């Protein structure tokens, strides 16, 4: 008798560390070809003109022959996480409910050595049939990327993995700066930093340039990928 037949599908999935639902589930694309064409063009527009709001992105799309409404453009900007690059009173990065927000510690700070200040942020990367998310940890002084992770979802786990890898390789920083996204304000993420005695710093609301070092890196890498 085939021994595997004696083990239920649920148990086999546990042994192989597989999701039970993935055995029969065939994923469907999140977007149609038409929607992906619009999303990809919006990405191109925003890479060249990050100061554009949704109305100007909409006009560019119309000029290029796309059939799309302004409400749809606004919806897609939210899907892509695109934010017009200018100081504002409120950002769309919102911390998780009940998560503690820490003060911004870098104002006026003389950053003069490696491992003094690290920063992290999340961006998306356009793929042929959708998008994935990239988190990177950077040393503020040397501008070195210390670790990174790619994920198809905006969970906290891939951010934690990137942080732990950077610490394992280079030791813990004195200060760690992020935005107020729920991944970085989560107790798991801040708790790991506290374990190593690292001070936690978070961008202020309405401050588009508080984490400018990692933002510049993302701008360069996305521009490079868009040329390929």
Instruction: With beta carbons less than 8 A apart as the criterion, state whether 126 and 225 touch.
Output: yes
Fold of domain 117-226: Nucleotidyltransferase; domain 5 (3.30.420)
Q: Report the C-alpha gap between 46 and 52 in whole angstroms.
A: 7
117/94 Cα distance (integer angstroms): 23
121 strand-pairing partners: 136
Look-up: residue for tokens 């942080």?
163
What number of CA atoms fall less than 13 Å from residue 55's CA on the CB side?
A: 0
**Mean pLDDT highest for which of 30-34, 37-41, 85-89?**
37-41
| Cβ neighbours of 32 (radius 10 Å) | 9
Coil, strand or helix: which one is 11? helix
pLDDT in tens, 163-215: 999 999 999 999 999 988 889 999 999 999 999 999 999 987 655 555 666 66
What DSSP line would sit under 185-225, residue for residue? HSHHHHHHHHHTTPEEEEPPTT-TTTTHHHHHHHHHHHHHH
- CA gap 149, 163 in Å, rounded: 9
Q: Which residues have C-beta within 8 Å of that of residue 192, sequence separation ≥ 6?
A: 160, 163, 164
Q: Check residue 205 and give its pLDDT.
A: 64
Query: Is residue 26 scored above 60 in pLDDT?
Result: no
Query: Averaged over 114-133, what is the pLDDT?
Result: 83
Token digits of residue 191? 């708790």
The pLDDT of residue 35 is: 84
**pLDDT tier at 18, thresholds 50, 70, 90:** low
Give residue limits of the domains in the chain.
33-80, 117-226
The closest of 214, 126, 125 to 178, measured between CA atoms, is 214
For the cut 90, the answer to whether the pLDDT of residue 84 exceeds it is: no
What's the pLDDT score for residue 139?
93
């Amino acid at each position: 008798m085939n021994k595997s037949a004696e083990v239920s599908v649920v148990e086999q999935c546990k042994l192989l560390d597989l999701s039970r639902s993935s055995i029969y589930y065939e994923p469907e694309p999140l977007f149609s070809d038409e929607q992906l064409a619009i999303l990809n063009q919006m990405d191109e527009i925003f890479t060249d003109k990050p100061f554009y709001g949704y109305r100007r992105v909409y006009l560019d799309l119309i000029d290029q022959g796309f059939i799309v409404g302004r409400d749809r453009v606004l919806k897609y900007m939210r899907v892509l996480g695109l934010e017009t690059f200018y100081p504002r009173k409120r950002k769309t990065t919102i911390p998780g409910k009940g998560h503690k927000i820490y003060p911004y510690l870098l104002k006026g700070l003389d950053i003069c050595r490696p491992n003094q200040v690290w920063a992290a942020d999340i961006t998306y990367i356009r793929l042929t049939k959708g998008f994935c998310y990239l988190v990177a940890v950077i040393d503020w002084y040397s501008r070195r990327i210390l670790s990174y992770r790619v994920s198809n979802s905006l969970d906290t786990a891939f951010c934690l993995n990137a942080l732990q890898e950077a610490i394992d390789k280079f030791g813990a920083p004195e200060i760690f700066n992020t935005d107020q996204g729920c991944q970085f304000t989560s107790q798991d993420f801040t708790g790991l930093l506290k374990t190593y005695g690292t001070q936690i710093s978070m961008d202020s609301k309405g401050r588009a340039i508080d984490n400018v070092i990692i933002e510049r890196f993302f701008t360069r890498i996305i521009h490079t990928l868009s040329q390929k």
